[in-house]
Chain A
């Protein structure tokens, strides 16, 4: 019993089989690249979306002859990846959670390498009348007037953590804020999509300076509140602790930390984006956190 379409001499059949075999080969080559050593870093969406990692990645890979895999997620997920040992090092921006990560034995040492500032952006019309206030007072006014939508990241990210801390500083319990009504919107999304949502709803949101500047679509949102000590946003790198987590790459993780804090790279970080945006996206701070 033979079927014409399975006839080996049929060229299209051969072609299809060929494509499939090549496909399988490519996938297996992909897997077997374990032979070249890899370093996996989990970082936040706000840092990743600026393109800084894509800029630094080839430099690091060339200097150390290793493949750098950059995963991005909200800070909460990035920390989870570190706890699971699915990454060798994390680079996030939530001091309290970073300290806990180390205190619980998952991380080795917190090394700040750059900082910038958060700001609250919103519609030009400023319906709640909070422009120019400090963040805590702006939040109090938002609560009082209830006019003006506020879009929260709502995703346990570093930015979300900062927003929560502003509410707390302003004297509110976060659970109460979540119940306050339809003007408080929990997006559950990354910084880019949250900005889009705030734009569509003509509402306010807390964003880091770099993502806001680097966002590639037109946003009808303007800076509303950009001064306040609480708005300091520090990015730190922490190597995952091989004593408590099943990771095997501490040496290369430490190389990445050294790389990020090296004078030459610190200068590049400081200059990143200046040409395109006319402003620094990041201020380098090699291991020393700026006094807030």
Chain B
């Protein structure tokens, strides 16, 4: 129990003193997570719309497949992205292995199934009669799409919050393709892994608490927006 309490005190100390290394890794966790969710949403909201509003052969199978990939382990994605981006791999020439960009790539892959699956579910909940009314009033394709997003906005927001949470809390991808390099790709989760491995349990716990605190702040902001 004392370790938990010491961890909590250490977290307060690190926040209060703006410990530069902690600030750096927290900022990096946030910026990588936010970038991943922005790119993920930009891809998945339209894609989910396309999947939901069109009938095509294999649609049900595709949705099942998407839901299956909710459970994909981050280390597997990390391994896949590593093999792709390695110097010896097909896309190695980009040179983004062991940079934050590689982590973003992996995290976007990670959250795509979650975003697609949950947003499709959200769209399903939109009353069809609203769309029929809009079409009969002469709404264009774009306007209909925006209407659906507006109607489904709570579900869409929930999906986005979930996706962000998944991205910022993962270790497997950050470690494998980021490498936990000090000053370059060290994020909170990989730092926790390192410090716990060195036996600095207090620091590891403190970093964990800081991560939760950050996630809380981001969520409060996202919820304020949702309510407007």
Contact = CB atoms under 8 A, between A and B. Distances in A.
B165 interface: no
Interface string A45-71: 100010000100100000000010111
Interface string A18-52: 01101110111011001000001000010001000
B84 to A, nearest CB: 12
B31 A1 contact: no
Contact of A12 (B34, B199, B228): B228
Nearest to B149: A3
B101 to A, nearest CB: 5
Nearest to B30: A23
B99 A31 contact: yes
Nearest to A30: B100
B225 interface: yes
B184 A30 contact: yes
Contacts of B221: 12, 15-16
Interface residues of B, number: 44
Interface stretch (B7-15, B70-78, B90-98): B90-98
Contact of B181 (A71, A192, A216): A71
A217 interface: yes
Contacts of B98: 40, 69, 71, 86
A61 to B, nearest CB: 10
B86 A86 contact: yes
A1 B198 CA distance: 57
B96 A215 contact: no
Contacts, number: 111
Chain A, interface SS category: helix
Chain B, interface SS category: helix
A193 interface: yes
Contacts of B97: 86
Contacts of B100: 27, 30-31
Contacts of A180: none
A5 B181 contact: no
B182 A24 contact: no
B32 A27 contact: yes
Contacts of A190: 197
15 contacts: A5-B226, A12-B228, A13-B228, A16-B221, A22-B31, A26-B31, A27-B100, A31-B96, A31-B99, A70-B181, A83-B88, A193-B196, A196-B199, A215-B198, A246-B87
The 5 closest A-B CB pairs, nearest first, are A217-B199, A85-B87, A216-B199, A23-B31, A23-B34
Given A12-B224, A86-B87, A192-B199, 15 more contacts: A1-B150, A10-B228, A23-B32, A24-B38, A26-B27, A28-B101, A34-B95, A40-B98, A69-B98, A70-B181, A71-B181, A83-B88, A86-B98, A192-B198, A245-B87
